[in-house]
Amino acid sequence: MSMSRAIKAPLFVALALAVASPAFAESVVRSQPAEAGLSPKGLARIGEYLKNEIAANKIPGAVMMIQRHGKIAYYETFGVRDPGTKAPMTPNTIFRIYSMSKPITTVAAMMLVEEGKLQLDDPVSKFIPTFKDTKVGVEKKGDDGKATLDLVPQRRQLTVQDLMRHTSGITYGFFGEGLVKKAYVDAKIFSEDVDNAGFADRIAKLPLAYQPGSTWDYSHSTDILGRVVEVVSGKSLYLFEKERLFDPLGMKDTSYYVTDKAKQPLIAEPFPNDRKIGNDAEMNDPRILRKWESGGGGLVSTIGDYARFVRMLANGGALDGKRYLSPKTVAYMGSNHIGPASGVVNGPYYLPGPGFGFGLGFAVRTEPGVSVMEGSAGEMNWSGAGGTTFWIDPKEDMFVVFMSQTVQHRTRHRVALKNLVYGAFEK
């Protein structure tokens, strides 16, 4: 269909809050943009940009929220949630958030750290014994010029902190090159449905791409962290997160699968030609219940739900009178854990980008310049492969959550939207 004729449904603050989840609606202060130090004219440019993207058939639709100084300054929806049904985008639309699952799983693990049940320097093999003998794959060229993979021992055991900051040596196989990545593909780790325990054992049997603690490499680390949470808590990852985060925060539509048939029509869908992620993976169908609960990329959520989680972090670990993490813990998570003193170097696929380090579960901005995106030092952010993103700017007392379903245009949108948001500042 022509997206220039698609349904466009911008919702201003009052309407958006009226149809958002009740828990979220009750916890925010309604405001005009100027009250948050933002220009209505500047914010209007965000809508113009997204409407143009929809008219050009780049995305079916999107929803975006900006909160500054405790006030919702922007909350609008655009286009349709599903190009097939043409159902309009609404605040209760459910998105695959992919790697925006990682901060949630990391927060769950840090709750166990605060309780003394888990330590960052614990070896992962303490909880998943199969990791004790995992080898490191080192590529070498043979006499015939062909690359071969030598398997060598770990110089030290990979730790819980390594899982949180992607320095475990575990990798992803669906993008990039190298014999270890090829081993991931050849192992068909996604074949047949296994639970988190079975998935962790599959990863443990594969070689590490780097020595633990040496290199930042994006990976299944947070999936393994989810299994650690299960072992320590004695509960499934979803049940632990539901009891400790989702239910208390009012995140009623956040889960690993959408089994309620009444909610399945709310799932956002990309254009049919915009579903491929990496070399050989495609967007999953959350309507199909599986055993695997991917702490690194399996959650679905709404913008209202995820904004509750982000607002809790932005508030230093508390929301609506309930504390989830100590403010010191949140500040520690938002520190750069791969700085020069860590000895960690950036791998060839360093996703945080120039001017950013990495904390526990998300990227952290170390320099206000360098990057092609505006922002402040101390910013915490992460994104999902399916087109969602968030960032927290403590200096400006602001957070932003954006949700769409696009693989092809996600990186471009992150840059443009960030610059549009900061371009709307009046003070």
> Which tens digit of pLDDT belongs to each residue from 55-75?
999 999 999 999 999 999 999
The structure tokens 């967007």 sit at: 283
Q: What is the pLDDT of residues 72-120, one digit of tens each?
A: 999 999 999 999 999 999 999 999 999 999 999 999 999 999 999 999 9
Q: What are phi and psi of 418, to 5 degrees?
A: -65, -45
Longest dimension (CA), the chain: 70
Q: Kindly report, as residue ranges, where domains of CATH 3.40.710.10 are found in the chain.
A: 94-318
Strands (E), 18-90: 29-30, 61-68, 71-79
Beta-strand ranges (E) seen in 155-263 are 215-216
What are 167's two structure tokens? Answer: 């320095």
Residue with tokens 């679905």: 300
SS3 content of the chain, % helix, strand, coil (to 5): 35, 20, 45
pTM of the model: 0.92
**312-346 residues labelled b (16+ CB within 10 A) or e (exposed):** bbbbbbbbeeeebbeeebbebbbebbbeeebebeb
Count of positions (residues) in the chain: 427
Round the average pLDDT of the chain to a whole number and report it.
92
Q: How far apart (Å, rounded) are the C-alpha atoms in residues 208 and 169?
A: 5
Please state, for a pLDDT cut of 70, what percent of the chain lies above it. 92
pLDDT digits (tens, 9 = 90+) for 295-349: 999 999 999 999 999 999 999 999 999 999 999 999 999 999 999 999 999 999 9
Class of domain 94-318: alpha beta
User: 225-236 pLDDT, tens per residue?
Assistant: 999 999 999 999
The string of pLDDT tens digits covering residues 10-53 is 333 333 333 334 344 444 444 688 889 999 999 999 999 999 99
Average pLDDT over residues 390-417: 97
Alpha helices by DSSP H, listed for 92-212, are: 101-114, 160-165, 179-186, 196-204
**pLDDT tens sequence across 201-258:** 999 999 999 999 999 999 999 999 999 999 999 999 999 999 999 999 999 999 999 9
| Inter-residue contact 351 to 98 (CB < 8 Å) | no
Backbone angles phi, psi at 315, to 5 degrees: -85, 10
